[in-house]
Chain A
Amino acid sequence: MSRYGLKTIAFAAMQVVGALLATAANAQDYPTKPVTLIVPWPAGGSTDISMRAIADSASKVLGQPIVIDNKAGGGGTVGPATMAAAAKPDGYTISQIPITVFRLPLMQEVSWDPAKDFTYIVHLTGYTFGVTTSAESQFKSWKDVVEFAKANPGKVTYATPGTGTSLHVGMEQIAAMSGIKLTQVPFKGGAETNAAVLGQHTMLQADSTGWRPLVDAGKLRLLMVWTGARSPNYPDVPTLKELGYPMVYDSPFGIAGPKGMDPKIVAKLHDAFKKAVEDPAVIATLAKYDMVPNYKNTDDYKKFVVEVTESERKVIDTLGLAKK
């Protein structure tokens, strides 16, 4: 065995032991124990993996591990709702806040109030959405889908990561503009919608870029993207605007804790996550899913929440999805 080999082994062993023995650097100040970050999507999707990369980088700044807790369901609201209801505002439980947290209360009775039940911390990034179909499907382009749907109302099914997600609302907007009727099937997240469209259980999939490896391998066909400009990775795929739907959907998201958090703790978390989205390793992971950092500080994020809620209210009203 070479000396190099021995050294690497010793180094690796030390790292493992070090990680196991690592304790809080200063017992007085926050954080003194691991922080739980709720990701309200199934493990393995684009949100989950990008949040893991961000959390890993932020944990180095905080000096404590950030443990990801996947609480999927309800279009990404089960996790934040659970946190708002049950967690203490001590900074040890925080959650990713998808846009559904603001939208779902407009559509139905829910257990949380987005204006009151959260302490918003920092805004991080947004998604690239797209609509795909199986490579074996009859649909070669979006035009085929519209034609088929006109002849067979309600027969076209699409998988989304949940009712009330941007994907659901966006598809309904598209359907309303084209004068067609589509049927939504709500799943819990990307891993499930990938399997559903790949196995042709649903005809279409509307989801964030978790479909990328499958599209690259030619197993799925990308019909459109919902960004403002064409994706550099898929220059041949049209945007919503080019298809005649004047919309852009990127569903930006950030993180928040339960209401009533100490501003000092909020500031610490904000700084750690700000550094994380500036970390080149994080930017590289985000780029794999066609995501770019979209940083907003605590105050801007709060303002943004109010704006989004208002614009969502208009969309929900026009689509007739508002709660009675």
Chain B
Amino acid sequence: MRDQTNVKLRLSNSELWGGLIGLALGGFVIWSGLKLKLGTINDPGSGYVLFYTGILMCVFAGSIIISAITEGGPTLASRWENVRWSKPLLVIACLAAFSFALEPLGFLLSSIPLLLLLLRLIDPVRWTLAIPIAVLVPSGMWWVLKRLLLIQLPSGLFGIG
């Protein structure tokens, strides 16, 4: 009998994918090393260590791929079985939106909505608690940093903060 979550040479094998990504990165590092010049052994150039590290990466990635093919590995789907995969995805989306908003809006205007969203999205906190936390914590931290530690947080286009 074959375990459906442990596959060998299949496109759904997660180990295989990890190894392939490693191999691609290794190849890229070797190429960058060559482009930066290896130099000579008595005066190694900027690409010397990168080149050899890239080779090592390919070797390790290769051994991951080989063991993925010979011993098999869990499928990609099984890694996300029985978990609420939508939650991390939502948090990642919030963080991505936040990184786009941070510079134009400034720290206060971007972090208050971020906190509110996070409080409501990962198992909702009731509004009466979520709103005060989302407003007070960032403002409090902002005040402490600006007044006590003289650290200027990004203020954004509207100059708030």
Shortest CB-to-CB span from B49 to chain A, Å, is 15
* Interface status of A63 (Cβ within 8 A of chain B): no
* Interface status of B41 (Cβ within 8 A of chain A): no
Q: Which A residues touch B149, using CB under 8 A?
A: 20
In the complex, how many residues of chain A place their beta carbon closer than 8 angstroms to a beta carbon of chain B? 7
In the complex, the answer to whether A21 meets B147 with C-beta atoms within 8 Å is yes
* Interface status of B152 (Cβ within 8 A of chain A): yes
* Interface status of B77 (Cβ within 8 A of chain A): no
In the complex, how many residues of chain B place their beta carbon closer than 8 angstroms to a beta carbon of chain A? 5
> In the complex, A33 Cα to B145 Cα: how many Å?
13
* Interface status of B148 (Cβ within 8 A of chain A): yes
Q: Which residue of the partner chain, among A21, A33, A34, A65, contacts B148 with CB atoms under 8 Å?
A: A21
Interface of A: prevailing SS = loop
Chain B residue, CB-CB nearest to A65: B150
In the complex, the answer to whether A23 meets B147 with C-beta atoms within 8 Å is yes
Q: Which A residues touch B147, using CB under 8 A?
A: 21, 23
CB contact list, B30-44 vs A, under 8 A: none
> In the complex, A21 Cα to B149 Cα: how many Å?
8
Chain A 8-38, CB-CB to B under 8 Å as 1, else 0, gives: 0000000000001111000000000110000
Residue in B147, B148, B150, B152 with the greatest tally of chain A CB atoms within 10 Å: B150
> In the complex, A100 Cα to B49 Cα: how many Å?
25
Q: Which B residues touch A22, using CB under 8 A?
A: 150
Shortest CB-to-CB span from A298 to chain B, Å, is 27
Q: Which A residues touch B152, using CB under 8 A?
A: 33
Shortest CB-to-CB span from A34 to chain B, Å, is 6
> In the complex, A228 Cα to B54 Cα: how many Å?
50
> In the complex, A33 Cα to B152 Cα: how many Å?
7
Chain A residue, CB-CB nearest to B149: A20
Chain A 29-60, CB-CB to B under 8 Å as 1, else 0, gives: 00001100000000000000000000000000
> In the complex, A228 Cα to B147 Cα: how many Å?
50
> In the complex, A189 Cα to B149 Cα: how many Å?
31
Q: Which A residues touch B148, using CB under 8 A?
A: 20-21
Chain A residue, CB-CB nearest to B146: A23
A sample of 11 inter-chain contacts (CB < 8 A) reads A20-B148, A20-B149, A21-B147, A21-B148, A22-B150, A23-B147, A23-B150, A33-B150, A33-B152, A34-B150, A65-B150
Pairs of residues from A and B, 5 with the lowest C-beta to C-beta distance, nearest first: A33-B152, A20-B148, A34-B150, A23-B147, A21-B147
**Beyond A21-B148, A23-B147: 9 further Cβ-contacts under 8 Å?**
A20-B148, A20-B149, A21-B147, A22-B150, A23-B150, A33-B150, A33-B152, A34-B150, A65-B150
